[in-house]
Amino acid sequence: MGFMQALRARWSAADTLVCVGLDPEPAKFPQTFAADPDAVFAFCRDIADATAEFACAFKPQIAHFAALGAEDALERLIAHLHAAHPGVPVILDAKRGDIGSTAQRYAVEAFGRYRADAVTVNPYLGRDSVQPFLDHADRGVVILCRTSNPGAGDLQDLIVPDDGGGGRPLYQHVAGTIARDWNTHGNCALVVGATWPAQLAEVRAIVGDMPLLVPGVGAQGGDAEAVVRNAKSADGTGLLVSSSRAILYASPGDDYADAAASAARSLRDTLNAAR
């Protein structure tokens, strides 16, 4: 089963739009992990196991593993996610982008080595830089559109010509180009930040029912209800609302797993109430 089918099946079976982000920061781990040489794996595994029932996807962020030299822990973590939670797709958050011959190597990294079901990529280098990912028709390619950070607009909001002789922001051009030209295998999704509800609505109007990965609720301040109101697809799904720190570090104590589950459940309920 390909990523898109798995995602739609999960939305239907689990009734949740929550994507659990796995961004390990050892300084924030509960004290119980202080003496654990495999703390990065063990903490992420515990969080994933506690939150799986509320998750439509898991999203490990590779920088947090790479900075620690913990690629091996990431490999084992994704293997665990597939084995223990086979219905929950895994999105590797890597935001890769390079010329075609190098992009092929990054695709091997994400899909071959790490066995991710989907990967985030950057569109700045153009279609041929994304094509090696798109060619894996059974994997998802989650492309940056309008990001959640304060400086997102520096490039993404610049006005570029549209087809009708007018202009539109670059992020809308990116959304339109991907929906029209890049999505030939039906395996594209877009990253649009929760911090910009108006932009979410504009992107949704452009891309039909394409899934949107929405970071920025929780620690970054995005309004979860506004996200759903503005960006759900026609059938009330279409969203992966990602939360990382607010779930992972919900409690610094021994109840970290229960606290993470409560945070994920609460976000699920908030999102579902707005559907």
Judged by CB under 8 A, which stretch of 36-44, 117-125, 232-240, 267-275 contacts its own copies?
117-125
Q: Which of 171, 117, 115 is nearest to 146 (CA)?
A: 171
164 binds its own copies (CB under 8 A): no
| Rounded Cα gap, residues 233 and 275, in angstroms | 10
174 binds its own copies (CB under 8 A): yes
Interface with its own copies by CB under 8 A: which range of 40-48, 52-60, 144-152, 223-231? Answer: 144-152
Q: Number of residues in contact with its own copies, rule: CB under 8 A?
A: 52
Indicate whether 153 belongs to the interface with its own copies (CB under 8 A): yes
* 28 a catalytic residue: no
Residue 95 interacts with its own copies (CB under 8 A): yes or no: yes
Segment interacting with its own copies (CB under 8 A) among 1-9, 91-99, 133-141, 200-208: 91-99
The answer to whether residue 177 forms part of the interface with its own copies (CB under 8 A) is yes
Residue 109 as a binder of its own copies (CB under 8 A): the answer is: yes
Query: Does 199 participate in binding its own copies (rule CB under 8 A)?
Result: no
Residues binding its own copies (CB under 8 A): 23, 61, 63-64, 66-67, 69, 71, 75, 95-100, 102-103, 105-106, 108-109, 112-113, 122-129, 144, 147-156, 158-161, 170, 173-174, 177, 215, 220
Q: Which residues are catalytic?
A: 95
